Amino acid sequence: MNVAWTLADDTGPGEVARRFTQHRLAIASLAVLIILTGLCLAAPLIEAGLGIDAAAVDLFARYQAPSAAHPLGTDELGRDVLVRLLYGGRVSLFVGSTAALAAAVLGTTVGLVAGYTGGRTDAFLMRLTDGVIALPLLPLLIVLAAIDLGKLGLPPALTDASDISLYRIVAIVALAGWTTVARLVRGTALAIKTRPFVLAARSQGAGPMRIMLRHILPNLTTPIIVATTLSVGNVILLESVLSFLGLGIQPPLPSWGNLLTGAQETIWQAPGLAFYPGLAIFITVIAFNFVGDGLQDALDPRASERRR
């Protein structure tokens, strides 16, 4: 007997899509994110189409103005700004989405176990969550990012890898950013576990793991999706801050944050080198926030009613 039940309401995907399309800012933001992601993924094609090498240094072409060959000009080493910006977007978007998903998985696991189990397990996990929340986020990330991986006993092949800073930032942000999802999931799980369909599943002999995964977890999609979407922008912002401080993504791998770092010494000579990545960060963070608001209104109509 299938006793699964949906907490939010009985509307299907069509009704959710209809409510989402009524949120004009969310639709516009989603379009912007799709276009931006498509351009970043197409960076190698754009690079080949322009007939350039984004990593090639040409000191005779430094600080060139925008032209057909270089639509956004060149940087202090004669590299094309547009292509490097798109490659940096690939890194920043990857870090934002991957770290947000990892944090959502970790937070969902902690919140689901705490909410369903209750008792001492709930108390321990929630005190752990409160302890992480109480830590100052940015100083914590700076300390974790500054740790020398070689002194942790990791093999040199791993610590010397060119993209180790990428996965390191993903892991650090995920370990520090799961608390919001955990609290949301725990609160919703506490309400769901007393519902008749959960009690019916328990009376039929379903074990705790099956109840959590089959009957409770599907009803947690709304807070998880909304919280994850909203956190992507925050993760991109944190990555940019760490990279700007020299503790995030390390050159030659470009990201919007370390592009800003490289531009700070030439801000008066070539302000566009700082303007373009800063604008990309601003647009992306704002767009993810608007998409998150739209999803919240679409998946939970009561949220928009409470804001009125």
pLDDT bin (cut points 50, 70, 90) of residue 5 is very low
* Torsion 157-160-166-171 (CA) sign: positive
Residue with tokens 């990791």: 154
Q: How far is CA 304 from the centre of its chain?
A: 24
pLDDT bin (cut points 50, 70, 90) of residue 75 is confident
Residue with tokens 């197409």: 42
Q: Tell me the C-alpha distance between 261 and 263, whole Å.
A: 5
| % residues pLDDT > 90 (the chain) | 24
pLDDT at residue 11 in the model: 55
pLDDT at residue 216 in the model: 86
Q: Tell me the C-alpha distance between 221 and 235, whole Å.
A: 20
Contact by Cβ (8 Å): 212, 112: yes
Least Cα distance to 177 among 135, 212, 116 occurs for 135
Least Cα distance to 82 among 283, 284, 232, 275 occurs for 275
Beta pairing partners, 80 = 74
Least Cα distance to 100 among 217, 286, 287, 234 occurs for 234
Domains contained in the chain, CATH given: 30-48+55-307 (1.10.3720.10)
pLDDT in tens, 36-51: 999 999 999 998 988 8
pTM assigned to the model? 0.82
Q: Tell me the C-alpha distance between 37 and 284, whole Å.
A: 10
pLDDT in tens, 222-238: 888 888 888 888 888 88
pLDDT at residue 108 in the model: 92
Read off the amino acid at residue 112.
L
Q: Encoding tokens for residue 74?
A: 């060149």
Residue with tokens 């969550």: 129
Q: How far is CA 147 from the centre of its chain?
A: 23
pLDDT bin (cut points 50, 70, 90) of residue 31 is very high
Least Cα distance to 242 among 163, 141, 130 occurs for 141
